[in-house]
Amino acid sequence: MTPTRDGTLILLRHGKSEANAAGAFGGWADYPLTPDGEEQATDAARLIAQAGLLPDLVHTSVLRRSIHTAEIVLDHLGRSWIPVQRTWRLNERQYGALTGRSKRRTRIEAGPEQYEQWRRSLPACPPPLPEDRLALLRADPRYASLPGEGVPAVETFADVIARVLPYWSDLLAPALTCGATVLIAAHGNSLRALAALLGHLDEPGIRALNIPPAEPLVHTITPDLRPAPSGGRYLAPDRARAAARAVAAEGHH
């Protein structure tokens, strides 16, 4: 199909989860939203409505904090009927043995340099998830279709980019080049991976990128898959910038 108009991509990190509230690494653990997180999702929906954006398609991870955020937004917009696709490829990064651990304690025990490497660099890899916890995840029916050995024991950020890339190429990009408005309700690292692919970011750019919770980030996608503006635009830019600074400082206090 020949595109007749630009597509619109809305990136939305889920609202505050119980892991966020505890200052912990969430990873693939299935933390729910907190009441504050539900309010944040509702506020994100108001911003999307005020901007006159009505999604045609929605994509989420298979984790309930992502799913619930999307449900709240669609309900507010009166769009609960539109197609929704869920995929493990949009899950949060598999943080291995760090899953559920306090970010502040991890930074103290591992040291600031190692902590930042684990959080922000492309190749750094935390210790893997213990075998007993990994076995439980691999038995989860959500992950029965995963290739290879199934659920990874741990991921680098480069691994997240690698699993998001085919989803972008095969599903998201074709919809956007046909002029669709696509909402992705996902996680800090899966959205960072998409933003890195969109913006062709190098490692310093990736390290500096922080996606705040429940702040809609809108990209106009041209037929040749170029985002306009570069990096997108937040619907509440001042608040989003402050929230992104708070994400960068997680574990420091």
Q: Is 76 a catalytic residue?
A: no
Distance, CA of 10 to CA of 198 (rounded, Å): 13
Distance, CA of 27 to CA of 181 (rounded, Å): 28
Catalytic site residue from 92, 155, 215, 250? 92
Catalytic site residue from 14, 59, 68, 187? 14
Beta strand 227-234 pairing with 217-221: antiparallel
Distance, CA of 129 to CA of 99 (rounded, Å): 8
Q: Is 68 a catalytic residue?
A: no
Q: List CB contacts of 150: < 8 A, sequence separation 6 or more.
A: 138, 143
- H/E segment holding residue 219: strand 217-221
DSSP 59-81: EE-SSHHHHHHHHHHHHHHT-TT
Give the catalytic positions in this structure: 14, 92
